[in-house]
Amino acid sequence: MDQTRMSRLGYRCVVFFAATLGLVSCKDDHQKDKVKEDLAVIEKEIVDPDVYEFGFNLSDYIVKRDTVKSGDNFGEILQRNNIGFSKIYEIAEKTKDSFDIRKIQIGKPYTLLCAKDSLETLKTFIYQPNKEEYVVVNFQDSIHAFTSRKPIKYVEKEYSGVINSNISQTLADDGLSLILAYKMSDIYAWTIDFTRLQKGDRFKVIYTDKYIDDTIYAGIDKIKAAYFQHNSEPFYAFEFETDPVLGTTDFYNEQAKTLRRAFLKAPVEYKRISSRYNLNRRIALYGNRVRPHKGTDFAANIGTPIVATANGTVTKSSYTGGNGNYVKIRHNKVYETQYLHMQKRKVNVGDYVKQGDVIGWVGMTGNTSGPHVCYRFWKNGKQVDPFKQKLPAAEPISEDLKVKYLEYIKPIKIQIDAVPFKGIPKPKVEQNLITQTY
């Protein structure tokens, strides 16, 4: 190897060690003390025989668990556990196609499997980016990395509630996740206005909860069926797979009519509606004068994806002082939509977008006091309130699937009809509790 190549290799190694180890060799006394403290508090487990996790028999190892601290990186963690510079470099190089060592995040848990020897030699590093997934970096024999998921059990549950103030409070009173309310509001987005529920409205729902390793609650997976009695009018909703190949599902009522409309109810996963369409809005900052607001403001975190609410062609993708970064889409001869104050735009004029395609990200550009997307809706060239329009329905279920759907929902409708409302005894029907583990 010539001297130039040696120099380049040496330079790359120096850069790598500086990035992954934080120049461990140059740590001052304070940093060394911190390392000692970190090693002192790391949790060691005494594991009972034949306890398996991450695909390993934990009783074969000394198990150490910790979380990524501020200033930590992959190299730091391995070096603190007696893995040398050259070995760290080799591990990083051989696993880079499976695991990007730069992406470990502060606060995320990791597990170290160490040999039961005097040095407690580190054999495997396991990183958990979320509750379900984990990444194994194994260097016991050959060096390799892979991503896997913990076993998930799906448990079907039933619930009924009566509205006293709002659906979120009804669920919270019974200790249920508010995600259930969000999912139900999405299902009934164009059928029931959840901001105008009446006291005494009732609902039932059959849904699935997720559990990791049988015991760790991982949230609500999906809703199988729902029933809402609003203003004494019944509204059924049944999930049905319309395309088994793509796994596409949708919700239909007991007559196989879709609950959706051609437009999504919102262009973003939002926290709240911070300002509604209001032609008579008055603002104190402007002397309490009428300043009409012809859009609907959906408050969301900066960087949240903004999606097209319906299929259409982008007619404007630009920046102005008031609108900031914005996109306008023509859907047909009647309808247009506009999305304001984006952090960044993703589409260009002439692009054809489908419902749900990301067209930009939430920001604070233009005249705005907080992160949100101002959603504007045109009908026949005039800005209107989308929540007060009788919008066209989405594509109906095909005739060949309609027969299958009506047959499919028969037992589910019997099941949800048998769920009693609070205060009413349940008919003598066996509880349908289904669990599946994958």
**DSSP state letters, 51-68:** -EETTEEGGGSEEEEEEP
Look at residue 17 in the predicted model and tell me its pLDDT: 43
Band of pLDDT at residue 430, cut at 50, 70 and 90? very low
Check if the beta carbon of residue 254 is closer than 8 Å to that of residue 409. Answer: yes
Taking the C-alpha atoms of residue 158 and residue 225, their distance in angstroms, rounded to an integer, is 10
Q: Classify 148 as helix, strand or coil.
A: strand
- Max mean pLDDT range (2-6, 306-310, 427-431): 306-310
Look at residue 397 in the predicted model and tell me its pLDDT: 86
- Percent of the chain's residues with pLDDT above 90: 45
Check if the beta carbon of residue 270 is closer than 8 Å to that of residue 300. Answer: yes
Amino acid in the structure at residue 371: P
Band of pLDDT at residue 254, cut at 50, 70 and 90? very high
Residues facing 62 on adjacent strands: 114
Q: Classify 340 as helix, strand or coil.
A: strand
Q: Does the pLDDT of residue 205 top 90, yes or no?
A: yes
For the residues 263-284, what does the mean pLDDT come to?
78
Q: Express each pLDDT in 28-77 by its tens digit.
A: 455 545 444 444 445 566 666 678 889 899 989 999 999 999 989 999 99
Amino acid in the structure at residue 109: P
Q: Which secondary structure element, helix H or strand E, spans residue 400, and what is its range?
A: helix 399-418
Q: Does the pLDDT of residue 331 top 70, yes or no?
A: yes
Taking the C-alpha atoms of residue 188 and residue 53, their distance in angstroms, rounded to an integer, is 40
**For residue 268, what is the DSSP state?**
S
> Which residue do the tokens 């205060």 mark?
423
User: Pick from 342, 347, 313: which is nearest to 325 by CA?
Assistant: 342
How many other CB atoms are there within 10 angstroms of residue 33's CB atom? 11
Look at residue 2 in the predicted model and tell me its pLDDT: 43
φ, ψ of residue 343 in degrees (nearest 5): -70, -40
pTM: 0.57
Look at residue 3 in the predicted model and tell me its pLDDT: 41
Q: Does the pLDDT of residue 275 top 60, yes or no?
A: yes
Q: What is the CA radius of gyration of the chain?
A: 28
Q: Classify 314 as helix, strand or coil.
A: strand
Residues facing 148 on adjacent strands: 134
For the residues 377-406, what does the mean pLDDT come to?
87
**Can you read off the two tokens belonging to residue 289?**
């004068």
Q: Does the pLDDT of residue 22 top 70, yes or no?
A: no
Look at residue 398 in the predicted model and tell me its pLDDT: 85
CA dihedral 49, 50, 51, 53 (to 10 degrees): 140
Check if the beta carbon of residue 184 is closer than 8 Å to that of residue 226. Answer: yes
Look at residue 27 in the predicted model and tell me its pLDDT: 44
Look at residue 13 in the predicted model and tell me its pLDDT: 44
Taking the C-alpha atoms of residue 391 and residue 387, their distance in angstroms, rounded to an integer, is 9
Taking the C-alpha atoms of residue 46 and residue 60, their distance in angstroms, rounded to an integer, is 11
**Can you read off the two tokens belonging to residue 175?**
């200790």
- Percent of the chain's residues with pLDDT above 70: 82
Mean pLDDT of the chain: 82
Determine which of 210-224, 258-272, 285-299, 420-434 has the lowest per-residue pLDDT on average. 420-434
Domains of the chain, start order: 3-149 (3.10.450.350), 152-258+395-437 (3.10.450.350), 272-388 (2.70.70.10)
